[in-house]
Amino acid sequence: MTLKIALTKGRTEKQVLPLLAQAGMDVEPIRNKGRRLIFNDDPKYHTILAKGPDVLTYLNRGAMDIGIVGSDILDEQRNPQYDMLDLRTGRCRFVLASTANFDPGQTRRKIIATKYPNITQDYFATIGEDVEIIKIEGSVELAPLVGLADAIVDIVETGTTLRENHLQVFAELRPVSTHLVVNRLALKQKQVEIQTLIQNLQKAIQED
Ligand code: PRP
């Protein structure tokens, strides 16, 4: 049976394609894709390229069997599908960051800007703090610089964005990496194909 795979396009796609190739998939059509978003040439694997949060929508609605997506999105959306494998690529981390004069012990209720309100809420709940959260769509680092928020919760990979905007880390929240998730029904119906792909990917990860 054909496995339908939703792959997060962009950075995740580039990091995961070598692993998928090692696991036996012909990834050349994706490498040379131009503006194409769907790849049905291989009878074993049909692949689509989608934005991370949309990968889970396709999976949750049963339009796709397998999703390859960052754990940041899985955690933020509290994904109910099966998280089967950590692909150990796309590694980065969530941090609380701000300007040097930020006081984590300030008594006034903090305002936190983030693309990830649920992860932010969870973090402050675990340390017993009630904060106001402002949802931002990108370039979150701007928020403390212009007085929109006291601090941000965001992803750090190399640390360059924080450094170049004179922000520093005040707390480490949780790690992030790319995961393979499976639709519950697909796992029953295509068990052999899914397990084979996972085993091949596990081998590819170990060889890396
Ligand atoms: C992400 C993240 C940081 C940056 C961190 O943003 O939100 O801004 O990467 O990477 P670094 O530590 O290597 O500098 P992204 O590039 O996805 O764009 P965005 O700001 O539009 O979300």
69/67 Cα distance (integer angstroms)? 6
3-state secondary structure of 46: strand
Domain 92-175, CATH number (from 2.60.34.10, 3.40.1160.10, 3.40.190.10, 3.40.50.720): 3.40.190.10
- Residue 30: the pLDDT is 96
Q: What is residue 137's DSSP assignment?
A: S
Question: Mean pLDDT for each consecutive 10-residue tract of the chain (208 residues)?
Answer: 97 96 95 95 95 96 97 92 95 98 96 98 97 97 98 97 98 98 97 97 92
H or E element at residue 170: strand 168-176
Which residue's entry shows tokens 């899985």?
74
Q: Kindly give the distance from the C-alpha atom of residue 132 to the centroid of ligand 1, in angstroms, as a whole number.
A: 22
CB 11 within 8 A of CB 89: no
Domain positions in the chain are 3-90+177-207, 92-175
Nearest atom of ligand 1 to the alpha carbon of 11: 17
Q: Kindly give the distance from the C-alpha atom of residue 124 to the centroid of ligand 1, in angstroms, as a whole number.
A: 22
CATH 1.10.260.40 fits 3-90+177-207, yes or no: no
42/38 Cα distance (integer angstroms)? 11
Nearest atom of ligand 1 to the alpha carbon of 164: 14
3-state secondary structure of 35: coil
- Residue 126: the pLDDT is 97
For residue 147, the Cα-to-chain-centroid distance in whole angstroms is 28
1/190 Cα distance (integer angstroms)? 7
In this structure, the residues whose C-beta lies within 6 A of any atom of ligand 1 are 138-141, 154-161
Model pTM score: 0.93
Q: Kindly give the distance from the C-alpha atom of residue 114 to the centroid of ligand 1, in angstroms, as a whole number.
A: 12
62/183 Cα distance (integer angstroms)? 7
Which residue's entry shows tokens 């880390």?
169
Task: Give, using CA atoms, the residue closest to atom 20 of ligand 1.
Answer: 139
H or E element at residue 98: strand 92-98
- 170, with CB counted inside 10 A (0-12, 13-18, 19+), is middle
Question: Looking at the DSSP assignment, which residues form a beta bridge with residue 3?
Answer: 45
- Residue 81: the pLDDT is 82
Angle between helices 11-22 and 191-207 (to 10 degrees): 100
- Residue 82: the pLDDT is 93
CB 51 within 8 A of CB 9: yes
Number of H helices, E strands in the chain: 9, 11
Asked if domains 3-90+177-207 and 92-175 share a fold, the reply is yes
